[in-house]
Amino acid sequence: MTIGLLLDAAVIALLVAAGVFAFILNRKLKKLSEAQAALQSSLEAFSSAAGKADEALKRIETQGVVRGAELQAAAARAQRLATDLSVMTAAGERVADRIEAALNSVRAVGASARKDRRAA
């Protein structure tokens, strides 16, 4: 009976050790499950944020294309206005040169008329 009692005690000790191990394993699995749930919620939040960022980038890109087209049109208008202004400036300079030449010729005629009057 001593051997039977020792075997029973060994089996009881092994069962107690298995129970303790099962308890510890259960706690670790519960913590792992909680961590997995937290990770899942973090991944969902990250996915949502990434989706919002993607939408915002698409809006920014669309607005950039629109603004780029507007700037291109404004630059083309400015170039046309600069060309028109250049043509007008050149025409104004030619008119000013002709007026100056006419004025010089009138002054020359007036100066020679004064000489003629003084000589007379």
Reply yes or no on whether the pLDDT at 4 is more than 70. Answer: yes
115 within some domain: no
25 within some domain: yes
Reply yes or no on whether the pLDDT at 81 is more than 90. Answer: yes
What is the spatial distance between Cα 71 and Cα 73, in angstroms, rounded to a whole number?
Answer: 5
63-78 average pLDDT score: 93
19 within some domain: yes
- SS3 (DSSP) at 83: helix
Percent of the chain with pLDDT over 90: 78
Torsion from C-alpha of 34, 37, 43, 44, nearest 10 degrees = -150
DSSP secondary structure letter of residue 1: -
9 within some domain: yes
41 within some domain: yes
For the stretch 28-47, pLDDT in tens is 999 999 999 999 999 999 99
Q: CA 5, 9, 11 angle in degrees (round to 5)?
A: 115
Range of the domain at 12: 1-84
24-31 average pLDDT score: 97
79 within some domain: yes
What is the spatial distance between Cα 49 and Cα 56, in angstroms, rounded to a whole number?
Answer: 10
105 within some domain: no
How many structural domains comprise the chain? 1
13 within some domain: yes
74-99 average pLDDT score: 94
To the nearest whole number, what is the mean pLDDT of the chain?
A: 91
pTM > 0.85: no
Cβ neighbors of 115 (< 8 A, separation 6 or more) are none
